[in-house]
C-alpha cells in the first residue's frame, strides 16, 4: 500500500513514544552512534532504518543538575565519521563537537571522550555536527536537560522533541538524496512525515487542571513549526534554555525555528473525556502535534500564573561601546547573488552552483577554513547586524555564547542562542565575548550551512 503525502503530513497513526534513558551519574558512560530499525510508520510498513545514539531516536535523554558534569564517550559505529555538538551549552571550546573546527571527526570504529560542566539550567539538546544535514536527518540527536536547584510548582513535565522525516512513500525508508540541489538552494530538506519523540502522533494521558512543564525542542533540519494551544492555558517561561524575566502568556500561535527550544508551563483546561492539543498550523490546515487525553480531574481549579524561573548568569553587554559587525546573507534560489568568493577566488553564480554552494556571507561562501568573521578580546561587547537579503528565513545559531536579540527601538529583547531572521529582514543581536575559543556561527537550516551559510568568530583567551 502506498502512503500519500497528505497522510504522511498528518502523521495520523498513533504510536507509543520511544522510551528514553536518564543518564544522571557523573561516571563516564559510553554512547554509541549506530544504525537501528524503528517502526516510524503504521505496521503495514516495514521498520525504517535510522541512525541514532544507542540506536534510539531521539537518543537517550541526558538529565543532570545544574553545575554537574557530563562525561560521555562517543563510539562511532556508523559508515561515516561523526561528532557530537552540545547545543546551547556554554561549554569549553575543545568540547563543542564541531568537526574540523574544535575537534577531528570521529572515524568509524573510533571514540572520543566528552567531559564538561553544565553551567546553566534549562532545555538543551545534542546532535551530530559532521555532515549534520544528513546525520541529524537520519536521527542522530537527543535531549539534554539541566535541572534548576529548586523545582517548579508543577505536577509533571514532558520533553517533546519535534521533527520531520523525509520518507519514501513506497518503502517507508528515510529517503536518500541528502545534499540535493533543491534542498541546498531553497528552504532546506523538508520532511513529509511529522512527529514528536519518534512517534507520528504522540498521545499523552493527563487530568483536568493538571499543571505540566513542556520542554519543546525543534530537531528538524529546516522546518519552522507554527504552534498553538487548544484546551491548554500556557505561559512561556524560557527560550533556548534561558529563563524569561517573567512568564509570557501564550496568546495565539507561536513559532519555533530549527534548533530553538521553548519551555512552557500549561494548565489542562479541557473537560474530562475530551482532548487538549499542541496544534501545528500549516497551509494544509491545523493538525495535532501532541494530543493530551483528559482522563480525570486532579484539582477543582487551576492555579495562579507560574513564577519565573531562577535566571542563569549573564555578562552585561555594553551596547554603546560594542564592536559593530554586519553580516549580509545572500544567494539561494530567486536571490540576486551574481558572484562570491570561494576558497579565495571570485566565482560566478553558475560556478558556485556547480560546486554545490548557493549562499554567501558578505559576498564570500562561508566555511571554517577562511578568516574569522570577527576576532574579539575576552569580555568585549559585540553588536552583530544580520541582514537577510534572500527570499528564505534563516535560523542563525551562535556556538559557545548566548546573545540578546535587539528590538527595533534599540532595547534588548530575549536572551537566546538561535534567532530567526525572516526573509528580507534585518535582525540585530548583541553578546559579550566571554568564552574563549573558535566558535561557529551558522544557519541551522542544515542544508544551508552545508552550502555556504557558515562563519566563525574567535575570542581571545
Q: 46-96 pLDDT, tens per residue?
A: 999 999 999 999 999 999 999 999 999 999 999 999 999 999 999 999 999
Nearest to 123, CA basis, from 292, 250, 263: 263
* pLDDT of res. 366: 83
pLDDT top residue among 104 and 2 = 104
What tens digit of pLDDT does each residue of 212-245 get? 999 999 999 999 999 999 999 999 999 999 999 9
Query: Quick check: helix, strand or coil at residue 354?
Result: helix
Q: Would 317 be classed as within a structural domain?
A: no
Query: Quick check: helix, strand or coil at residue 459?
Result: strand
What tens digit of pLDDT does each residue of 188-201 get? 999 999 999 999 89
Cα(163)–Cα(114) distance, integer angstroms: 26
Expressed as residue numbers, the domain containing 119 is 5-150
CA dihedral 107, 113, 115, 121 (to 10 degrees): 50
Decide if 314 contacts 268 (C-beta within 8 A). no
CATH for 208: 2.60.40.420
Q: Would 312 be classed as within a structural domain?
A: no
Same domain, 213 and 285: yes
Q: Would 441 be classed as within a structural domain?
A: yes
Decide if 265 contacts 213 (C-beta within 8 A). yes
The residue from 93, 115, 150 where one domain ends is 150
Q: Would 309 be classed as within a structural domain?
A: no
Q: Would 194 be classed as within a structural domain?
A: yes
Alpha-carbon distance values, 14 to 17, 124, 212, 295 (Å): 9, 27, 22, 17
Q: Would 9 be classed as within a structural domain?
A: yes
Cα(231)–Cα(275) distance, integer angstroms: 7
Q: Is 238 exposed, middle or buried (0-12, 13-18, 19+ CB in 10 A)?
A: buried
Same domain, 417 and 356: yes
Cα(399)–Cα(382) distance, integer angstroms: 14
* pLDDT of res. 27: 53
Name the grid cell of 297: 480531574
Same domain, 285 and 342: no
User: How many helices (DSSP H) and strands (DSSP E) are in the chain?
Assistant: 5, 32
Cα(216)–Cα(114) distance, integer angstroms: 25
| Rg, C-alpha atoms of the chain | 21
Same domain, 179 and 214: yes
* pLDDT of res. 6: 37
Q: Max alpha carbon distance in the chain (Å)?
A: 70
Residue 456, beta-bridge partner list: 440
Same domain, 337 and 455: yes
Mean pLDDT of 248-264: 97
Cα(454)–Cα(442) distance, integer angstroms: 4
Same domain, 352 and 446: yes
Q: Is 287 exposed, middle or buried (0-12, 13-18, 19+ CB in 10 A)?
A: middle
- Number of domains forming the structure of the chain: 3
Same domain, 122 and 192: no
Same domain, 52 and 113: yes
Average pLDDT over the chain reads: 93
Q: What phi and psi values does residue 129 have, to the nearest 5 degrees?
A: -130, 35
* Percentage, residues of the chain above pLDDT 70: 94
Q: Global pTM?
A: 0.94
Same domain, 132 and 247: no
Q: Is 461 exposed, middle or buried (0-12, 13-18, 19+ CB in 10 A)?
A: exposed
Cα(194)–Cα(47) distance, integer angstroms: 16
Query: Quick check: helix, strand or coil at residue 446?
Result: helix
Query: Which band of pLDDT confidence, cut at 50, 70 and 90, is reported for residue 159?
Result: very high
Q: Would 243 be classed as within a structural domain?
A: yes
Decide if 387 contacts 326 (C-beta within 8 A). yes
* pLDDT of res. 7: 40
Residue 62, beta-bridge partner list: 23, 144
Amino acid at each position: 500500500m502506498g502512503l500519500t503525502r497528505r497522510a504522511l503530513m498528518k502523521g495520523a497513526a498513533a504510536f507509543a513514544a520511544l522510551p528514553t534513558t536518564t543518564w544522571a551519574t557523573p561516571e563516564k558512560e559510553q554512547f554509541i552512534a549506530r544504525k537501528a530499525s524503528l517502526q516510524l510508520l503504521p505496521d503495514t510498513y516495514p521498520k525504517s532504518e535510522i541512525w541514532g545514539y544507542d540506536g534510539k531516536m531521539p537518543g537517550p535523554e541526558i538529565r543532570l543538575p545544574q553545575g554537574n558534569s557530563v562525561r560521555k564517550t562517543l563510539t562511532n559505529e556508523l559508515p561515516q565519521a561523526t561528532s557530537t555538538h552540545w547545543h546551547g551549552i556554554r561549554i569549553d571550546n575543545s568540547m563543542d563537537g564541531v568537526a574540523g573546527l574544535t575537534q577531528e571527526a570521529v572515524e568509524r570504529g573510533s571514540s572520543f571522550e566528552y567531559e564538561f560542566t553544565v553551567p546553566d539550567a534549562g532545555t538543551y539538546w545534542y546532535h551530530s555536527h559532521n555532515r549534520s544535514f544528513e546525520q541529524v536527518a537520519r536521527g542522530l540527536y537527543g535531549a539534554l536537560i539541566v535541572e534548576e536547584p529548586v523545582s517548579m510548582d508543577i505536577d509533571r513535565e514532558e520533553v517533546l522533541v519535534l521533527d520531520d522525516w523525509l520518507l519514501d512513500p513506497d518503502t517507508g525508508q528515510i529517503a536518500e538524496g541528502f545534499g540535493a540541489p533543491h534542498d541546498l538552494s531553497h528552504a532546506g530538506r523538508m520532511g513529509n512525515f511529522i512527529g514528536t519523540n519518534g512517534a507520528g502522533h504522540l498521545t499523552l494521558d493527563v487530568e483536568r487542571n493538571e499543571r505540566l512543564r513542556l520542554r519543546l525542542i525543534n530537531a528538524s533540519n529546516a522546518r519552522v513549526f507554527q504552534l498553538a494551544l487548544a484546551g491548554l492555558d500556557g505561559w512561556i517561561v524560557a527560550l533556548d534554555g534561558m529563563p524569561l524575566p517573567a512568564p509570557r502568556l501564550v496568546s495565539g500561535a507561536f513559532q519555533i525555528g530549527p534548533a530553538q527550544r521553548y519551555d512552557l508551563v500549561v494548565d489542562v483546561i479541557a473537560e474530562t473525556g475530551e482532548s487538549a492539543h499542541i496544534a501545528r498550523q500549516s497551509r494544509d490546515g491545523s493538525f495535532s502535534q501532541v494530543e493530551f487525553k483528559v482522563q480525570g480531574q486532579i484539582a477543582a481549579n487551576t492555579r495562579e500564573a507560574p513564577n519565573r524561573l531562577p535566571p542563569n548568569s549573564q555578562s552585561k553587554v555594553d551596547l554603546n561601546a560594542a564592536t559593530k559587525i554586519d553580516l549580509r546573507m545572500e544567494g539561494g534560489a530567486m536571490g540576486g547573488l551574481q558572484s562570491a568568493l570561494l576558497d579565495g577566488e571570485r566565482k560566478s553564480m553558475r560556478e558556485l552552483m556547480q560546486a554545490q554552494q548557493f549562499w554567501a556571507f558578505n559576498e564570500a561562501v562561508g566555511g571554517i577554513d577562511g578568516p574569522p568573521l570577527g576576532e574579539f578580546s575576552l569580555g568585549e561587547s559585540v553588536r552583530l547586524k544580520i541582514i537577510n537579503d534572500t527570499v528564505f528565513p534563516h535560523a542563525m545559531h551562535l556556538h559557545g555564547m548566548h546573545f540578546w536579540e535587539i528590538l527595533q527601538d534599540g532595547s534588548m529583547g530575549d536572551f537566546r542562542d538561535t534567532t530567526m531572521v525572516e526573509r528580507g529582514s534585518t535582525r540585530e543581536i548583541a553578546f559579550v565575548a566571554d568564552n574563549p575559543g573558535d566558535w561557529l556561527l551558522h544557519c541551522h537550516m542544515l542544508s544551508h550551512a552545508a552550502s555556504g551559510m557558515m562563519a566563525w568568530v574567535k575570542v581571545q583567551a
